[in-house]
Structure 1
Amino acid sequence: MSAEDELPRENSRWYTHDEVMERLDRLERTGRGTVSLEEIGESIEGRELVVATVGSGETDVFITTEQHGDEPTGTSTIFQILQRLSAGGQNTAQIREALTIHVLPMHNPDGGMRNQRVNADGVDPNRQHHYDPGSDDNPSPETQAMIDYVTDLDPEWVADLHTQTGDYVDDDGESIRASNFWPIAPDADEDAIELSKQMNWAIYDEVNDQYGFANISQYPGGTGANIARNAYGIRGYGSVLLEMTGQVDDRGERMEGMMIRHMRAEVETLLEETADGSLYDRDSELAETIPERGPRSPWPWDNE
């Protein structure tokens, strides 16, 4: 039994870090040259942080998952998307020709191996994105690796995949399955905010109608410049937070499958509309019409 296997795992939907590395290696081996890997840093406990890249387009986009180690749905989702993009098929050629997609799965591997939100030092990686590139002071080396990579990349947009705990309902008593948001920091770049709102509206307009169980809302996010969604908006990139509801749910694999399908549809909408340019025709102000999620029980941390 390896040291990885000795750490707690809630159920089969949780990848170990070793399994994440194995899946990335397999994608690189079987992707017929479509997937490349780059180690960009390591966690406090020395686990590799690896970015997978697919596509050869002039427009770079960046996606990260599992900043919070107890939110693995985004990691499961992004592997399905990478598999589809590497295999080719319907719509993938245009995406790969127009975009270069950079993915950092399991941003917080030490937390992931403990099924906990924070990293090995008890620091929330999603509260450390305000540090300058190259900083030696960031208490989350995982986040600093992302800052350094993303700012060097200068992407069109950044997507941050999470899951939210709780059972939220709308005014009609229907369960809210996802909550997304854009940068609202006072110093966020105006053009970045507009693009971010276009991203949010594209997701709502496309996915909410496609899936009967979708029911997307606005996430009640804060204004802190340390939060990824805001920090990359300040740096001038489109930025979107994707939160799926139900990370703690006793309905098991069926619920997990629904979450993955929904989150996959959201991410693929962004990729497809960025690739064909239709994203830029979206009316950004319509994002304000997305229903608000509503109240939640207090958490011991700030909003995402």
Structure 2
Amino acid sequence: MENAIEVNKLRKEFKAYSSRTGLKGAFRDLFTRNYKVVPAVNDIHFTVKQGEMVGYIGENGAGKSTTIKMLTGILTPTSGQITVNGMNPHKEREKFVQTIGVVFGQRSQLWWDIAVQESFRLLKKVYKVSDEDYDNHMGHVIKTLDIEPLLDKPVRKLSLGQRMRCELAAALIHNPPLLFLDEPTIGLDVLVKLKIREFLKEINEKYNTTILLTTHDLSDIEALCERVIMLDEGKIIYDGALRNLKEKWGERKELQFQFLEKIEIAKLKDITGGLPVKWELDEKEAIYIANIEDTEELISLLIARVVSAFKIKDIKINEISTEEIIRNIYEKGTVEVEGGN
């Protein structure tokens, strides 16, 4: 199977300017500026196979959007090699853009004051899509995303959820083999998110469309991607299966206790002293949360101590969420990159 994306020692640096203090400093800044070089993406390497759906995740400022902009040809790398769909995104620009679709959650590719279908027609001409191909492919896209009632409306009159569905359809007019999605579900309600997720799964299965997804909504990643690439300060700190990430870092359980009366959390800490447990209190819901290693012996011992000391209304045992796992990795600053991808 060929790779849709190949990245080797990719680096992007920006100059960060600083101003001198005082009037004298401001005058000097007119002639010479102090700056330092900041690497937004720091010598990263990864490949994405055709037909893969990969989550590209990281905190704000980690370098996710900078990477996407280099992969799509918007930014030129400082150094390193990029091959996307067998081409260099910067040197074969016109040919290259025919093979990708891009959705930026906070930027529109639709014309603001004209009807959605007019934007679609313009994009159809830009991408040189035949009438037959457009009708066959876009008929299905429009129906699946349920945007037919929106086609006659100007983009400015659409809600955020309606616009994002139209943006996704616009990115697929030429049925590209590779789709870049940068925060495609930002600010959307649950039903719209579900519709978009189901649609993405469908085009991946039907057309073997490769999808690279960046998002802060980890439920999108869990629903769509088997593999994640995690970025921190411009470097890849994890590249591998989401399942392995959860198995390796999700070695804890969360126990939620509800008591018949209010309990001081200090008393719970005293009762469970000596156990590797971390207590939190959700005051709004009156839920006491114990975070503990996932072993039967420790969990049984914790429950036995709490039940023997207090009257229990309810107990729930939950797996640690992906969001919690990833937050723990960032807090610990652990670097763990898997090979083979």
- TM-score, length-normalised on structure 1? 0.31
- Bigger radius of gyration: 2
**Greater fraction strand:** 2
